[in-house]
Amino acid sequence: MKKILSFVSARTTLIFTWIFAVMAPWLFYVCRLGHVYIDIVLFDGFCTTVFFIMAISAVFVSILAFIRIRSNKYKDTNELPKWLNVCNAVFFVLTFLFTVVWIASLSVMGKESSPVAFRTLLPTLFTGFAIIVGAFFALFFPAIKPRKIRAGIAAVVIVALFFGIIGSLYPLSVYKIISHPMVIDTGKDYSVVFATNTSGTGYISYEYEGKSYLVYDETDGRKVNSRIHSVSVPYEHLDGNVYSVGSTRVIDELSYGGTNGRTVESKEYAFRSDKTTGAEKKYLCVSDWHTHNDLAKKTAFLHSGYDGIILLGDALPGLQFEEEAAEYIVSFGGELSGGTLPVYYVRGNHETRGSYATSLSERLGLDGFYYVTETDEYRFVILDSAEDKADDHPEYGGMTDYSAHRAEMVEWLEGLAPSEKPTVVFSHDPKICLEEDLQKRAFEKIESLNAVLMVSGHTHTSELRKEGELDVLIDGGHDKGKFVATLLTFGADGIEVLSWDEEGNVTVSHTFLYAE
C-alpha cells in the first residue's frame, strides 16, 4: 500500500494525473455526439452529470497539484500527511476512470461518427491548448529539472503557440478545389455544386450562343462565403456545353472591406445531357454509403458508360459541419459523375440531423427535397422520406417537425397528374412516410401515376419487393464492409435492373416492362 501511495503521490505521477484530469471534461464534451445513446441506455442526463463531475475533479486535482508542487511544506513525498496521500490516490483513480469514459464515449460513435468529434475539437484546440499550457507553467514549470529540459519545453511551447496564433489569424493551408463539380438536376435547372478546402466565393464560367457568362454563387447580390458553392444554370446553357468553375478564398469578411486570398480555377468539363431522345439511358444508383466513399466508388466503377447518377441518401451519420457535406455528398457526387453527368439527389434520414442539415438544400441549389424532373422520355418523382423515427425521439434533440413536412409532401404528391412518359419514383426510405395514413395515401397516389418502379435504399439490403401493385427495388448500399450498387438501364420497352457488390457478384437482375 505504501508503494502505491508513494507512486500516486510522486511529482511525475501528479503531473500526468493533472494533464489527464483537465483534458477529461474537454475531450468528453467534444464526444457529445454519442452521449444520446449512452443516456438512453443508462438514464437521461447521465453524460451531463459525468461532465460536471469531471470538471469538479479537474479543479480539485489542480488544487492538489498547487499544494504538492508549490508548497515547501509538502515537497518530500515520504513525509506527506495521510489525508493528502488519500486525496492523491482518490483523484488518480477518478482520473483514470474518466479517461476510460471519454475514450469509451469516442468508441461508441464508431468509425463513421468519431471524425465529428475531431471536427468539434479543432475550433477549440488552440484556446484549450493555451489554457492547459498556461496552467502547466504556473503549477509545474519551476519544479522541472534540469534546466535544459525546462528550456526545451519552453521552446516547443513557444513555437507551437506562435504557429497557433498565426494559423488562427491567417490560413496556412493551400487553397484548392477538392473535387470535380456535381451538376444536380433540380427539376427547373441545373445546380453546379463544388467544394473547396476552406471558405471562399464561387463561380461558374462558360459560353452560350456567342456570349460569355461568369455567374457567381450569390444571394440578393452578395457573394456567398462558404466551402460549398452552388450556381444555378438554365438547362439549355449547359446541355452539350463546356464549363469551368472557380473560387476566391475569403480570409476576412467585414462590414467595410475585407481580405481575399488566391483564386483557383478548375479544368474545363464537357457536360453530357441525359435529356436527348432515341438512345437507351443508363443510371448509376448509390445509397447508404455512410462515409465509405472509396468502397462505394470502387463498386460503382466496376461498370461504366453511365448517363446519370442517382444518389439515394445516407452519405454520413449526420450533418454537424459544412465540411462533412462537402466531403461525403458534394465531393462524392462529383467524383462519381466526373463533373460531366447530371446528378439526382435524394435526401436520406441521416442528412436530416445536425446543425448544418437546415442549410443543405440551399447549398445544393435545391428549393426542397421533393420535386419532379423530366427528360424527353422519362419522368422522375423524387420524394423526401425525412426521418425514420417519431419527432420526439431523443436522437433529434427537439429539432424536428418532419411529420408536418411529410404531410405537405403527400399533399403535393396527390396534386401530380399522370404522365405519358414512364415514371420512376425515388425515395430513400421504401416506406416513404412513417405515418401509416400518409404512407397509404402516398402509395395509392403513386399507383395512380402508373409508376413503373420505385427505387429506395435505407435498409442496407439488395432486393426486390412489392408495395401493393408497385414494384420496389432496394438498392443495397453499405453493410458490414460490403457494398452494393445498381444500374438502371432505360430501354425502349422497359427498365433493366442490375445490382452488384464490390466483388462484381450480381445480387439483383430483372427487367420491368413499361406495358406491365
Asked if 208 and 161 sit in the same domain, the reply is no
At 177, which CATH number? 2.60.40
Please provide the distance, in angstroms rounded to a whole number, between the alpha carbons at the two ends of the chain.
82
- Long-range contacts (CB closer than 8 Å, 24 or more residues apart) made by 128-132: 128/26, 129/160, 129/161, 129/164, 130/161, 130/164, 132/19, 132/22, 132/23
Q: For all residues of the chain together, what is the average pLDDT?
A: 90
In a domain, 259, yes or no: yes
Q: Tens digits of per-residue pLDDT, 268-304?
A: 999 999 988 777 899 999 999 999 999 999 999 999 9
* Res. 508 pLDDT band, cuts 50 70 90: very high
The residue that leads in pLDDT, 82 or 306, is 306
Quick one: 163 and 197 in the same domain?
no
Same domain, 14 and 162: yes
The answer on 155 and 177 residing in a single domain is no
- Give the integer Cα–Cα distance in Å for 21 and 59: 9
Cα–Cα distance, 53 to 48 (Å, whole number): 9
How far is the CA of 87 from the CAs of 64, 71, 136, 143, in angstroms?
A: 8, 16, 20, 21
**Nearest in space to 288 (alpha carbons), one of 486, 505, 466, 37:** 486
28: in domain: yes
User: Does residue 150 share a domain with residue 33?
Assistant: yes
Same domain? 9 vs 155: yes
Residue 343 near residue 182, CB atoms below 8 Å: yes
d(CA 443, CA 435): 12
In a domain, 496, yes or no: no
Domain, as residue range, for 36: 2-169
pLDDT at 27 over 60: yes
- Residue 1 has a pLDDT of 62
- Coil, strand, or helix at residue 109? helix
Cα(374)–Cα(280) distance, integer angstroms? 15
pLDDT digits (tens, 9 = 90+) for 306-337: 999 999 999 999 999 999 999 999 999 999 99
Give residue 475's Cα distance to chain centre: 21
Query: Using alpha carbons only, what angle is made at residue 233 by residues 275 and 362, rounded to the nearest 5 degrees?
Result: 110
Residue finishing a domain among 169, 200, 221 = 169
DSSP characters over 249-273 = EEEEE-SS-EEEEEEEE---EE---
CA neighbor of 132 nearest in space, from 2, 266, 27, 231? 27
Comparing 161 with 375, the larger pLDDT belongs to 375
State mean pLDDT over 210-236. Answer: 97
| Mean pLDDT across 476-502 | 95
Q: Is 145 a member of any domain? A: yes
- Residue 324 domain flag: no
Q: How many domains does the chain have?
A: 2
Q: Which residues of 302-316 are buried (b: 16+ CB within 10 A; e: fewer)?
A: eeeebbbbbbbbbbb
Q: Which pLDDT score, from 0 to 100, does residue 121 have?
A: 86
Least confident of 106-120, 143-157, 179-193, 333-347: 143-157
Same domain, 253 and 195: yes
Q: What is the DSSP string of 338-366?
A: TTSSEEEE---GGGG-SGGGGGHHHHTT-
Residues ≥6 apart with Cβ < 8 Å to 466: 472
Determine the pLDDT at residue 73: 67
Work out whether the CA dihedral 18, 21, 25, 26 comes out positive or negative. Answer: positive
Long-range interactions of 114-120: CB distance < 8 A, separation 24+:
115/291, 115/324, 116/33, 116/317, 116/318, 116/320, 116/321, 116/324, 117/30, 117/31, 117/33, 118/30, 119/320, 119/321, 119/323, 119/324, 120/30, 120/32, 120/33, 120/320
* Strand 506-513 versus strand 494-501 pairing type: antiparallel
Are 21 and 58 spatial neighbours (Cβ–Cβ below 8 Å)? Answer: yes
Determine the residue type at 447.
E
pLDDT in the model for residue 435: 95
123/205 same-domain check: no
Is there a domain that residue 22 lies in? Answer: yes
Residue 45 cell numbers, joined: 442526463
What is the rounded (10 degree) CA torsion for 404, 410, 411, 413? Answer: 150
Q: Which of residues 253, 273, 293 is at a domain's end?
A: 273
Is a pLDDT exceeding 70 seen at residue 2? no
Secondary structure percentages of the chain, helix, strand, coil, to 5: 45, 25, 30
pLDDT > 90: what percent of the chain?
64
Report yes or no on 456 lying in a domain: no
Taking alpha carbons only, the member of 271, 270, 111, 263 closest to residue 201 is 263
Report the chain's C-alpha Rg in angstroms: 28
User: What is the Cα–Cα distance from 456 to 425, expressed in whole angstroms?
Assistant: 9
Tell me: do 213 and 163 sit in the same domain: no
> Is 160 part of any domain?
yes
| C-alpha to C-alpha distance for 486 and 480, rounded to whole angstroms | 18
Question: Could you tell me if 21 and 143 lie in one domain?
Answer: yes
Phi, psi (5° rounding) for residue 472? Answer: -125, 130
Q: Can you give the pLDDT at residue 164?
A: 75
Together in a domain, 101 and 9: yes
Q: Last residue of a domain, which of 222, 253, 273?
A: 273
What backbone torsions phi and psi does residue 208 show, to the nearest 5 degrees? Answer: -145, 125
> Helix crossing, 46-70 with 82-139: angle to 10°?
90
Say if residue 102 is in the same domain as residue 248. Answer: no
* Segment 137-157 mean pLDDT: 74
pLDDT of residue 74: 65
pLDDT of 141 higher than 80: no
Mean pLDDT throughout 115-125? 85
377 and 419 Cβ atoms separated by less than 8 Å: no
Cα separation, 145 vs 140, whole angstroms: 10
Bridge partners, 243 (sequence order): 206, 269
